[in-house]
Amino acid sequence: MREQPYDQGVRVLFDAAAVRERVSQIGRDIASGAPGDDLVLLAVLKGSFIFAADLARAIPKPLRMDFLGLSSYGRETESSGIVKITQDLSQPIEGAHVVVVEDIIDTGLTMAYLLDNLATRKPASVKVCALLEKPSRAIRNIRIDHVGFVISDEFVVGYGLDYDERYRNLPYIGVLDPRRARRRAVREIRG
């Protein structure tokens, strides 16, 4: 039997070239708006790992990289708003100018939690950078300083974003057909 392409059921929304161009622009914007010397790019894991890696290289300024692992309790494709820190920062951010890098802001619950948490660590400033924003789903109003693309309420995968831990390695951002994803999961469970 012929092997099916690993991205079957995914429709391209922003191809690799469009993503590259947008990330370069955001990198320049962050560099020109960054006050002070101590710039920290704080990537929220796991979804932002590819975006953050490309973004860091698009910022022509000295910076520190750090990573924060977050996961929502009790979720499949929906955010619960109850967030657990699975991996904490490696260094203090007191007095630093922090740019939080997220792959997507959906309900805004995760970012609201994170911003409250970061404020207790006394950074000089905190900005939010999200590759994707889904305003139609917003529950908490988050001020996003840098946004890649505003999207409608579709299930997106690729360029770091997953469905059930898959598709993060697609070099583009795509929309996953939920029926296909379900059928695939059932096939795999049956073997």
Write out the catalytic residue numbers.
106
Q: Would you count residue 133 as binding ligand PRP (CB under 6 A)?
A: no
Residue of the chain from 104, 131, 144, 173 that contacts ligand PRP (CB under 6 A): 104
Tokens found for residue 145:
């300083």
Residue of the chain from 24, 71, 117, 125 that contacts ligand PRP (CB under 6 A): 71
Q: Would you count residue 72 as binding ligand PRP (CB under 6 A)?
A: yes
Q: Would you count residue 148 as binding ligand PRP (CB under 6 A)?
A: no
Nearer to ligand PRP, 38 or 166 (CB): 166
Q: Find the shortest distance in angstroms from Cβ 46 to ligand PRP.
A: 4
Nearer to ligand PRP, 55 or 105 (CB): 105
Residue ranges in contact with ligand PRP by CB under 6 A:
44, 46-47, 70-72, 79, 102-111, 162
